[in-house]
Amino acid sequence: MSVSAIYFLDMKGKVLISRNYRGDIDMSLIDKLLPLMMDNEEEGKQSPIITHGNVSFMFIKHSNLYLVATTKKNANVAMVFTILHKIVQVFNEYFRELEEESIRDNFVIIYELLDELVDFGYPQTTDSKILQEYITQEGQKLEVAPKPPPAITNAVSWRSEGVRYRKNEVFLDVIESVNLLVNTNGNVLRSEIVGAIKMRVFLSGMPELRLGLNDKILFENTGTGGGKSKSVELEDVKFHQCVRLSRFENDRTISFIPPDGEFELMSYRLNTHVKPLIWIESVIEKHSHSRVEYMIKAKSQFKRRSTANNVEIIISVPSDVDSPKFKTTVGYAKYVPQEDKVIWNIKSFPGGKEYLMRAHFNLPSVEAEEQEGKPPIAVKFEIPYFTTSGIQVRYLKIIEKSGYQALPWVRYITQNGDYQIRVM
Amino acid sequence: MSDSKYFTTTKKGEIYELKADLNSDKKEKKKEAVKKVIASMTIGKDVSSLFPDVVNCMQTDNLELKKLVYLYLMNYAKSQPDMAIMAVNTFVKDCDDTNPLIRALAVRTMGCIRVDKITEYLCEPLRKCLKDEDPYVQKTAAVCVAKLYDINPQLVEDQGFIDQLKDLLTASNPMVVANAVAALSEISEASPSGSALFDLNSQTINKLLTALNECTEWGQIFILDSLANFTPKDEKEAQSICERVTPRLAHANAAVVLSAVKVLMKFMEMMDPSGDYIDTLVKKLSPPLVTLLSAEPEVQYVALRNINLIVQKRADILKHEMKVFFVKYNDPIYVKLEKLDIMIRLASQGNIAQVLAELKEYATEVDVDFVRKSVRAIGRCAIKVEQSAERCVSTLLDLIQTKVNYVVQEAIVVIKDIFRKYPNKYESIIATLCENLDTLDEPEARASMIWIIGEYAERIDNADELLESFVEGFQDENSQVQLQLLTAVVKLFLKRPQNTQELVQSVLTLSTQNSDNPDLRDRGYIYWRLLSTDPAAAKNVVLAEKPLISEETDLIEPTLLDELICYIGSLASVYHKPPSAFVEGRAGARRALPTRSSGSGSASPEPAAAQQVQEVLTVIPTTPASQNDLLGDLVNLDLGPSNQQFMSPAPPAPAQDSSSFDLLGGGLDSLLDAQPQPIQQSTPSMGLGGPIPQAAAPPGGVPPGNLGVLGDLFGVGSASEEYVAPKEVWLEAPKCKGLELKGTFSKRMNNYYMDMTFTNKAMQQMSGFAIQLNKNSFGLVPAQALNISSPLNANQHIDVSLQLVINAQHMQRMDPLMNLQVAIKNNIDVFYFSALVPMYLFFTADGNMDKKYFLNSWKDIPSQNESAFVINNVTLNSDEIQEKLNKSKVFTVAKRRVEGQDMLYQSMKLVNNVEILAELKVQPDNPTLNLAIKSKVVDVAPAVFHSFNMILHG
């Protein structure tokens, strides 16, 4: 049912550090993994799960590392992958960046953390804020040995008591990412908004928070809101573990005791049929053995008073092009040969505008034999003070027994998610 | 300050130096040394020789140092078991430390030291820690019990730790509860006695559900996974658990979501499928499953493999979500391939246009595996959604035009399937396919193309040339291609015999004499013999109409699917294999979905079936009243080697002497009718006497009991004139997991038979057939076990005649009288049905009364015993009626003509000596007959009427 051992490998498959939790699998078996991965790749059978005999390897890749879990049982593989990703997250929070170097630099604490994160293959405490209270890099300097923070086993396992701030503040960021997939005919195949509400909480004590959104179902349930303010139908909402799910299920109230500091309170998803915010049309003329020409038209289809910042339109080009020439009506375009891309930067792109970029490349007279794919055009952008869904924070109530006043700050941003426009 | 410096000591004599440092008085030096030891251990150096020195450092106030020493112990204790004992004292002491962190650390580490001797010392501290006041220690101790069980299960049971764990389920701290659940689940899975150790009752379930709301995300997974093993007692309980589990679908942790999905999918089985609650759940399940596709790619992969199962079980959950499975350019290949699979599963008439446009797009990508699968997917769409077939075919043709080698090959493979599915529809494209013959280098594509040529030989002008070119390289071909080539050439020969004999001979010789492959040889011999003895039969066999291929390919077999649903989120669900296939040892009992209890549902759609089961159970006193026992009973049926009732398909022994066989001899006349002169010029060496192996001859002796059947089969017998009703459908394939059963009852040579045709309309093999009859009015029991010795392959059927005998022990009056309840078992399930046995089977030959006796009997039987019936739509005249009935032992005692009507007075006698008298009124030109029946046993009347009806309409 659970993990037998966890390994950190470098890209060559060498073990950097490992922790054997159950002792039921020969630890040297890990040497088989990289060759097996290569074999699979050759046979076109890549998979994040590889079997060897009766051992299953489950692995993820992070920067220049592989994190591998092994098991001999019918493990809950969804849990295994989530704990591996969680470990990455915790280590990132501990060492800023988890990579080969940081493992060597912190092996003592990594052993300590691995001991605390997982026991006998069962994930235990994975909240880095709480872990930092008793597993510290400066452990040896402490005069008094640390004790387990009560939070570990409390119902509120994510917040310790006794947090104090002089100024009590909460920052709420509503960030919506737009996923878009457009096919070569210019039809929108998929348009979806993935929203997240991120919080930075600087509050004393054990505050009780209640967040009010213009949630359509809530409005319908309570009869409030009515026709006056617009409401939003959230399709699938996911909450941080601090939110009382059964309460939400009952009356759509989002109530919680927040962890201290930064965290993602909730995420939601909705399918929309709104116009794509930035629309791209492209004409690509390829004259084999001589040149290729691109004509890219970008159109902003949001309200005039909003502006998209730092817009990047990324166009893939064949790997053998040379002599780039660009012409743009606004912004600047550059060729990034190491990625075989052209990036067209537009610092500020107001709503209701249309810009044009032309690119011209030479092609070698001898063509490469290998066929290249046609990566879609990708767009990056950020539109502040704007949400596509129209979601609004109506209130954030903060109640703490000491009765302090706290100020919530709210910010809205819409940005690109997986934004792809296929090309002919 | 970085730890990397500890790795940099490469001097010689390092171990010696470390030893000195470890024994130093200076705390700081000691700790530095231990760190260096651990660093060496990390990079794989053997530092076990320092064991005693490191253990000496164990007694320290420094927590960091202590942790490092413990880590060292875990690594090397197993290689130094004797020295490990040295550490025991410190462990025991640490378990009593005032700092809970140290207590927990000690008990956690002790459990990881897999040395038998240590475990004895572990028991006392563990017992104490399980009752520790600090929940942090308690939750660590709970896991430690599972560790100890892994090393020494007996010890855990003897020491009562399992009861202590069970007590922890009611602890107030949610984290303790969660770990106790995890430990108990693990123990019960590992224990040989199975779940007896960990019985979830409704009360514990309630506690777990409460803890579910409060514990960490991981704890929630442990709890949900163990909930999934629980079977609620009724629909109501299932529903109330579901209500408390559904909020988990909104959890940010994908594993929590999947475990919740598992519980819901499993418990849904217990609910009224037409009820509102199922609808609500189905609606709630869809969005979280879609959201899982925005998770990390590995999690997406797990989710997709599970969604594949979920849509097979409940297609309606994601039927509107096709678009989310469209492939993104930057998806990892394993995600892309899984998405393709699901796209096909969800393809329907409504969305096929979109799907097809996508697939066409994918087919022009560069990743070969992905392109291949996309092309294949187009073919599967054509087969699945009939309306799209034409568009799919034209898309495939477009792709063939690209001339990309692997695209063409895949396209040909799927087009073969399309031909199979829609015969005589798209053959116009054959010419295009033939153009690409030269580019095919993969066996599967070659075999497919050859199949197409053979199948449509009559339409392809140069089919012979094409096949000839393949035959030239026959010996270098893959066996799959060879087999196809053999069949294709034989087909060609049967269709165009004029100038293809040479070709067929060379292929037959190549397959039988120059091949090491037994399959190929056998097939070659069979064709050879067929062609030489009876070309007409060969035609019937080789060119027989093929069953249509089924719509959905690679569906998971239903029982496996049900089992996998119980393992959602686990490796089994990703492998699509039961855990027993990849986990060593006892992988736990096979899990099955709970079923809806028959009593609870008012609107249950299958009450009839359930009731039948009940009936079967209540009337078989020897079997205890539970369905499982009935299964057991069926399984224990004697499946002995009696094959008397097996209708052997073996043809009659050849009439000719084998030496006179000549491949192209006389038998071919019928094929070569058009030829003025039959070709007789074959070489003498072609006589089949030589190459035919003896085994190919039909079995010599026919068992005596078989004579009747075989005689009947071949029309030899004379006693078979008795009316036999046509077979009716007893089991319908869609309701019986693909098994179709047709059957009838007959009597031959005074033996009773159940003549049945088993047809396998499922995708997989069926085997292990058995039959059982419930007690019935005439005490019919099978004379022997049902004999279907070989497994029944998909789309095959088999005729079986089961002899029945009357056994007084097995008599019980049924209502209706002739009702016979039957249970049929195969490897998939048990099916129940009931059929009416026609009463005429039991009419005896001595039922003919003399007139006087008839008259007296008629008078003797009181008039209230007389029943009147009307038989409609009989177009026979009275003589024909008389004759027909007579064959079935309904004897006409007298015939009288009254006012233009014929009155037939008839008598019958049943095997149990019950006499039946009848008066049948026949009016010329009136298809309606009036029947009056009199018997001392009044109950037989309806059955007699039924018999008349059947005989006269047969």
Instruction: Report residue B628 as tokens.
Output: 């499982």
CB contact under 8 Å between B250 and A249, yes or no, is: yes
CA B397, chain centre distance (Å): 35
Q: Is B586 left (phi over 0), alpha (psi -120 to 50) or beta?
A: beta
Q: Report the DSSP pairing between strands A407-421 and A377-384.
A: antiparallel
Cα end-to-end distance, chain B, whole Å: 99
Q: Which residues contact B657 (CB under 8 A, 6 or more apart)?
A: none
Radius of gyration of chain B (CA): 38
CB contact under 8 Å between A119 and B567, yes or no, is: no
Which amino acid does the sequence have at A320? D
Residue A374 has pLDDT above 50, yes or no: yes
The rounded distance, in Å, linking the Cα atoms of A299 and A277 is 8
Whether the CB-CB separation of B443 and B480 falls below 8 Å is answered with yes
Instruction: Report residue B613 as tokens.
Output: 């089961």
Q: What is the pLDDT of residue A145?
A: 59
H or E, element range at A211: strand A208-213
Q: What is the pLDDT of residue B525?
A: 92
Q: Which residue, B790, B786, B789, is CA-closest to B803?
A: B786
* Cα nearest neighbour of A20 on chain B: B75
Q: Within an 8 Å CB–CB cutoff, is residue B134 touching chain A?
A: yes
Whether the CB-CB separation of B302 and B258 falls below 8 Å is answered with yes
H or E, element range at A182: strand A169-182
Q: Which residues pair with B822 in a beta bridge?
A: B773, B833
Number of CB atoms found within 10 A of residue B657's CB:
8
Q: What is the pLDDT of residue A229?
A: 64
For the stretch B761-776, pLDDT in tens is 877 788 888 888 888 8
Higher pLDDT, A177 or A274: A177
Beta strands of B764-818 (E only): which ranges?
770-773, 780-782, 797-806
Q: Is B427 left (phi over 0), alpha (psi -120 to 50) or beta?
A: alpha
Q: What is the pLDDT of residue B951?
A: 85
DSSP state of B604: -
Instruction: Report residue B583 as tokens.
Output: 């986990």
Whether the CB-CB separation of B802 and B753 falls below 8 Å is answered with yes
B44 contact residues in A (CB cutoff 8 A):
15
The rounded distance, in Å, linking the Cα atoms of B499 and B493 is 8
CB contact under 8 Å between B329 and A119, yes or no, is: no
Q: Report the DSSP pairing between strands A407-421 and A169-182.
A: parallel
Q: Within an 8 Å CB–CB cutoff, is residue B358 touching chain A?
A: yes
CB contact under 8 Å between A76 and B225, yes or no, is: yes
CB contact under 8 Å between B101 and A148, yes or no, is: yes
Taking residues A371-397, report their average pLDDT: 90
Q: What is the pLDDT of residue A10?
A: 94
The rounded distance, in Å, linking the Cα atoms of A246 and A265 is 16
The rounded distance, in Å, linking the Cα atoms of B601 and B271 is 8
CB contact under 8 Å between B301 and A23, yes or no, is: no
Residue with tokens 């049900």: B562
CB contact under 8 Å between B252 and A241, yes or no, is: yes
Q: Which residues contact A103 (CB under 8 A, 6 or more apart)?
A: A8, A16, A17, A65, A110
Residue A264 has pLDDT above 70, yes or no: yes
Nearest by CB to residue B290, choosing from A152, A236, A237, is A236
CB pairs A-B closer than 8 Å: 265
Pick out chain B residues at pLDDT < 70.
Answer: 1, 8-13, 193-198, 551-553, 585-590, 597-721
Distance from CA of B43 to the nearest CA of A (A): 7
CB contact under 8 Å between A246 and B221, yes or no, is: no
CB contact under 8 Å between B288 and A134, yes or no, is: no
B253 contact residues in A (CB cutoff 8 A):
82, 241
CB contact under 8 Å between A140 and B248, yes or no, is: no
Instruction: Report residue A375 as tokens.
Output: 């990566």
> Which of B42, B336, B402 best tests the A interface by mutation, with the highest count of A CBs <10 A?
B42
The rounded distance, in Å, linking the Cα atoms of A129 and B275 is 46
B584 contact residues in A (CB cutoff 8 A):
54, 72
Residue A252 vs residues A173, A215, A239, A240, A280: alpha-carbon distances, Å: 20, 8, 12, 15, 39
Lowest mean pLDDT among A108-117, A135-144, A390-399, A401-410: A135-144
Q: Within an 8 Å CB–CB cutoff, is residue B108 touching chain A?
A: yes
Q: Is B6 exposed, middle or buried (0-12, 13-18, 19+ CB in 10 A)?
A: buried
Nearest by CB to residue B214, choosing from A15, A155, A266, is A155
How many CA atoms lie less than 13 Å away from B52 in the CB half-sphere? 3
Whether the CB-CB separation of B252 and B230 falls below 8 Å is answered with no
Helix/strand/coil percent split, chain A, to 5:
20, 45, 35
A238 contact residues in B (CB cutoff 8 A):
250-252, 288, 291
Q: What is the pLDDT of residue A226?
A: 52
CA A388, chain centre distance (Å): 19
Q: Is B387 left (phi over 0), alpha (psi -120 to 50) or beta?
A: alpha
The rounded distance, in Å, linking the Cα atoms of B148 and B126 is 10
What ipTM was assigned to the predicted interfaces of this complex? 0.87
Whether the CB-CB separation of B375 and B395 falls below 8 Å is answered with no
Distance from CA of B763 to the nearest CA of A (A): 26
H or E, element range at B258: helix B254-268
Question: B572-600 burial, b for 16+ CB within 10 Å, e for fewer?
Answer: bbbbbbbbbebbeeebbeebebbebeeee
Q: Is B407 helix (H, G, I), strand (E, B) or coil?
A: helix
DSSP state of B251: B
Q: What is the pLDDT of residue B190?
A: 83
The angle formed by the CA atoms of residues B86, B89 and B90, to the nearest 5 degrees, is 100
Beta strands of B828-946 (E only): which ranges?
830-836, 866-871, 891-898, 901-909, 915-922, 929-935
For the stretch B135-172, pLDDT in tens is 999 999 999 999 999 988 889 989 999 999 999 998 88
CA B17, chain centre distance (Å): 65
The rounded distance, in Å, linking the Cα atoms of B756 and B730 is 9
The rounded distance, in Å, linking the Cα atoms of B572 and B591 is 12
CB contact under 8 Å between B143 and A51, yes or no, is: no
The rounded distance, in Å, linking the Cα atoms of A345 and B155 is 70
Q: What is the pLDDT of residue A351?
A: 93
For the stretch A276-326, pLDDT in tens is 999 999 999 988 888 999 999 999 999 999 999 999 999 999 988 999 999
DSSP states of A64-117: TEEEEEEESS--BHHHHHHHHHHHHHHHHHHHSS-SHHHHHHTHHHHHHHHHHH
Q: Within an 8 Å CB–CB cutoff, is residue B179 touching chain A?
A: yes
Q: Is A153 helix (H, G, I), strand (E, B) or coil?
A: helix
B94 contact residues in A (CB cutoff 8 A):
none
B103 contact residues in A (CB cutoff 8 A):
none
Nearest by CB to residue A245, choosing from B64, B251, B302, is B251
CB contact under 8 Å between B255 and A372, yes or no, is: no
Largest CA distance in chain A: 77
The rounded distance, in Å, linking the Cα atoms of B635 and B639 is 9
CA A137, chain centre distance (Å): 27
Distance from CA of B278 to the nearest CA of A (A): 17
Q: What is the pLDDT of residue B343?
A: 94
In the structure, how many helices (H) and strands (E) does chain A have? 7, 23
Residue A367 has pLDDT above 60, yes or no: yes
SS (H, E, C) B705-753: HHHHHHHHHCCCCCHHHCCCCCCEEEECHHHCCCEEEEEEEEEECCEEE
Cα end-to-end distance, chain A, whole Å: 48
Q: Which residue, B99, B296, B551, is CA-closest to A149?
A: B99
For the stretch A48-98, pLDDT in tens is 999 998 899 999 999 999 999 999 999 999 999 999 999 999 999 998 889
Nearest by CB to residue B291, choosing from A122, A139, A238, is A238
Nearest by CB to residue B582, choosing from A16, A54, A152, is A54
| Nearest 10 degrees: Cα torsion B308, B312, B318, B322 | 60
B4 contact residues in A (CB cutoff 8 A):
101, 104-105
